[in-house]
Amino acid sequence: MKHIKYLSLSFLLLAGSGCESLVKDINDNPNEISSDNFQAGVLLLKGMELANVSVQLGHQTRISGMWSGQTRGAALLYKSIYEYNLSAEETNGIWQNAYQGVVKQARLLREHTADSPKAAQFSGISKVIEANTVGTIANLFGDVPYSEISNDDIADPKFDTQKEVFAQLQTLLDGAIADLGSAANTAVPEDLYLAGNTLKWTKVAYTLKARLYMYTREYDKAYEAASKGISASNEALVFTPPNIGNGSFNLNYKMINERGGYWTFAGGHLETLLSGKRNNAKTNEAARLTYYRFDGNSANNNKGIAAAGRPMTLIGFEENLLILAEAGTRTVSAEEGLKQLNKLRAYLASGTAFQKLNATDALKYDPYVLADFEKGGIENADNLDSKQALLREIIEERYVSGFTGLMPFDDLRRLSVKEKAIAVLPPFNSATATKYPQRFVVAQTELSANRNAPRDSGIFTETEVNK
């Protein structure tokens, strides 16, 4: 895309970009920037990371949350989207942030730091970020351009199949892990996530590999990768907004501040779960409910998950534990899955997983035992098979822990047809709907410019991994 300049420190460019494909000429460099006249880390790494925050936690994530019953669209645009009306124009922003804001900058960064003493460190970090972004794009859209976007001679890059993209990203992450393993663990101030810590970046890479394997239902590989992944909360991939002005706030706060009244927590399926079904003799979700409940009308009223300076998790400790719990139950044993679930419950019970806003709110996560999931147990009143009952609780915890991220939407699509007994199934948002949305519509910019762009199959058509 020859008229897009290389970006640095702003939340990237949600403006339209005409009818030129955003993946066209992705490696082209119109400004002829050289490594002699700029510090690549300063000009590119921060911009890539901010673009990735928008991809992982921005507009499309709020849409996925509404479609999975976590929040509701209350007015105007968000009410329409909530009711499953989505145009291709709504995805221009995420497409641009992904391909121009992350992938293009990641490759330029690797090119211009090839001779740097920190070359392997920059390479490993940028590959993980690229895999994070492209994995999310393929997850949400299905088939997407990837293998041909590096070839400047191809005007209309093909759309690789979703499984092909995931396989390519696993290879990219293997390369990132090798790079990070060979790199000195030196500070990188421009790294807004982990300050260059190669050990933490390596663990993030393994958790991301595990996430991708969960998408493809390769649960044994997911368990193996997660076993090497994030093992403490301070190893998670987290962005803390600097809170220094417009564009530097928590994205939930920013949305409410700009479009008050559009979006609400009240009346969603998540609120129903946290205030009712989730609570039993060993669990009380009152404190987490207060932390999650946001005021969609006035941003400054929010002290919890939508507070202005609240850190935002991209790849988390909770996710890694829950991958170990689900994949462990499926491929190792119920005992292993329960052990990992109880690790998460101990973390929640510690009071450090989220801020307790009201001192009087109950916070209780006692460890479960296998008997709780036997027929008639406190987590199996409907007499499901005990292993299925354990998986159902793990999936429900993924639904709750994944709030404001993509995990609940991922699981809804992965499980709602093939494993309905253990899926979290929120009410439909439209009286005429009989199926949950399965994908997003490819960006209008790409549909208009790339002759290889697929015909829109609609948001209710499963992506390849969920067919």
Alpha-carbon distance of 155 to 151, in angstroms, equals: 9
The whole-number pLDDT of residue 456 equals 86
- What would the mean pLDDT of 43-49 be, rounded to a whole number? 91
The whole-number pLDDT of residue 22 equals 53
pLDDT at 32 over 50: no
pLDDT band of residue 11 (cuts 50, 70, 90) is very low
Question: CA 274: distance to chain centroid?
Answer: 22
Task: Name which of 317, 304, 293, 157 is nearest 230 in CA terms.
Answer: 317
Contact 127, 103 (CB under 8 A): no
Enumerate helices (H) and strands (E) in the chain, giving the number of each: 18, 8
pLDDT band of residue 151 (cuts 50, 70, 90) is confident
Strand partners, 189: none
Alpha-carbon distance of 296 to 135, in angstroms, equals: 30
- Tens digits of residue pLDDT in 154-205: 999 999 999 999 999 999 999 999 999 999 999 999 999 999 999 999 999 9
- What would the mean pLDDT of 122-137 be, rounded to a whole number? 98
pLDDT at 1 over 50: no
147 burial level (CB within 10 Å; 0-12, 13-18, 19+): middle
Packing angle of the helix pair 219-226, 198-215 (nearest 10 deg): 170
- For 465, the token pair is 């991994």
Backbone angles phi, psi at 284, to 5 degrees: -140, 115
Every domain of the chain and the residues it spans: 40-466
CA angle 295, 297, 302 (to 5 degrees): 35
The whole-number pLDDT of residue 24 equals 52
Task: Name which of 304, 58, 52 is nearest 192 in CA terms.
Answer: 52
| Conformational region of residue 351, where left means phi above 0, alpha means psi within -120 to 50, and beta covers everything else | left
- The type of residue at 248 is S
Task: Name which of 47, 6, 38 is nearest 247 in CA terms.
Answer: 47
The whole-number pLDDT of residue 39 equals 62
pLDDT at 381 over 60: yes
- Residue 406: how many CA atoms within 13 Å on its side-chain side? 28
- For 59, the token pair is 């507009």
CATH T-level topology, domain 40-466? 1.25.40
pLDDT band of residue 82 (cuts 50, 70, 90) is very high
Whether the predicted model's global pTM rises above the 0.85 cut: yes
Contact 445, 98 (CB under 8 A): no
pLDDT at 253 over 70: yes
| Alpha-carbon separation of residue 395 from 280, 290, 353, 381, 430 (angstroms) | 17, 21, 18, 17, 24
| Cβ contacts of 35 within 8 Å, gap of 6 or more | 112, 113, 115, 116
The proportion of the chain whose per-residue pLDDT surpasses 90, expressed as a percent, equals: 88
| Alpha-carbon separation of residue 163 from 53, 112, 138, 203, 346 (angstroms) | 24, 31, 9, 23, 36
- What would the mean pLDDT of 9-37 be, rounded to a whole number? 41
Contact 438, 462 (CB under 8 A): yes
pLDDT higher at 95 or 456: 95
Contact 332, 324 (CB under 8 A): no
pLDDT at 4 over 60: no
| Alpha-carbon separation of residue 349 from 105, 233, 344, 355, 365 (angstroms) | 41, 14, 9, 12, 5
Alpha-carbon distance of 22 to 442, in angstroms, equals: 11
Strand partners, 264: 72
Contact 401, 319 (CB under 8 A): yes
Residue 147's SS3 state is coil
